Amino acid sequence: MSLAGICNTDLEITQGYMGFHGVLGHEFVGLVEQAEDPSWVGQRVVGEINCACEACPTCRRGDTPHCPNRTTLGIGGRDGSLAEFCVLPLRNLHRVPKAVSDRQAVFVEPLAAALEIPEQTHIRPSERVVVIGDGKLGLLVAQALRLTGCALLVVGRHQPKLDILARQGIEVRLEKDVSGAGWADIVVDCTGHPGGFVLARRLVRPRGRLALKSTVHEQENPLGAGGVSLSMMVVDEIRVIGSRCGPFGPALRLLSLGLIDAESLVEAEYSLDQGLAAFAHASRRGALKVLVRP
C-alpha cells in the first residue's frame, strides 16, 4: 500500500454496520509485490473491491459485483487496505497512468461509484439534475455529472465544501435555501442520512428519477409514517435507482485528463501508526478526505 483513504463506510463499520471484523479500508493505490503473472510486479495499481467467485449464475451473466459469494475489500470477508499489504485477485487490478498522482488515485474507487449513475440512467444535457450532499462522494458525483452538460445544482449544508464546486462554475445552494417541489428530472442522494432521501423525494418531479448513493441503517429508514409516502411514489411513478460500485477505467481516464479535481478534497494525511487519530479526524463533522500512508 502506498496510500489509502478513509470513507464514510469505514466510519459506519466502526459503529457496527455490516458486522465486519477485520482490517478496514477499500480506497487505495499501491505497488504489486507478488503476482501469478510476473508482468504485474512493480506496477502501480488501484483495485476493484468486490471479489467474485466467477462460477455462480450471477457471475456467469456478467454481474460479478453482485456475486452472492463475493468478499468485499475491507467491508465483508476480506481484510482491507489500511495496512502495509493487502491481497486482491489480478482481475480486480487496474494500472494507474503516470499522469495520475497517488493522491488522485486514492479517489478512483469513489469516482467510479459516481460514474455508475450515468452508466445506469441516461442523463440528457437538457435535464435538471440535483445532487444532495456535499461530502466526498457528493462532490465527486457533481463533478462527474457536470460532464453530461445537464443543468446541475448541488445542495449541501457546508458552504466551504460547496465553494469547491462553485469555483468550478457549478451552481450550489445551502439546503436551508432550497424551495419548491417536483421540479427536478433527476435527484441524487449522497447525504448518508434519512433526511436526504426525504428532500430528494420532495424535489423530484412526477416520472422523475431518484438515484440513491446513501446507505442508511434500517432503523433510520425514512419510508413510512412521518417520512416518504410509498403510495405517492406509485402515483407519481417515481423511478428509484440504487447505485453502488462503478467502472474504474473511465475514472482513471477522467483523472488522467484533469477533468476531475480530487486534490481539493484532501484535508489531512496521517501515517499508519496514527490510524486512530486519522479516524478521529475523519469523524469530525464536515471533514473531507483523510488519507493514511503506511
Over the stretch 203-224, which tens digit does the pLDDT of each residue have?
A: 999 999 999 997 765 555 556 5
Q: Which CATH class is domain 3-107+262-293?
A: alpha beta
Whether the predicted pLDDT of 272 surpasses 50:
yes
Quick: pLDDT tens for 46-102: 999 999 999 999 999 999 999 999 999 999 999 999 999 999 999 999 999 999 999
**pTM across the whole model:** 0.93
**Domain 112-242 is of which CATH architecture?**
3-Layer(aba) Sandwich (3.40)
30 burial level (CB within 10 Å; 0-12, 13-18, 19+): buried
| Contact of 267 with 289, CB cutoff 8 Å | yes
CA distance 119 to 244: 11
pLDDT score of 225: 45
Give 233's Cβ-side CA count (13 Å radius): 15
CA distance 170 to 94: 30
φ/ψ of residue 181, rounded to 5: -155, 150
Contacts for 80 with CB less than 8 Å, ≥ 6 apart: 22, 23, 24, 25, 26, 73, 74, 86
CA distance 154 to 130: 6
Q: First and final CA of the chain: distance in angstroms?
A: 7
Domain positions in the chain: 3-107+262-293, 112-242
Whether the predicted pLDDT of 226 surpasses 80:
no
Give 84's Cβ-side CA count (13 Å radius): 1
Strand partners, 209: 186, 239
Give the number of other CB atoms < 10 A from CB of residue 158. Answer: 16
CA distance 3 to 150: 34
Quick: pLDDT tens for 92-144: 999 999 999 999 999 999 999 999 999 999 999 999 999 999 999 999 999 99
CA distance 228 to 202: 9
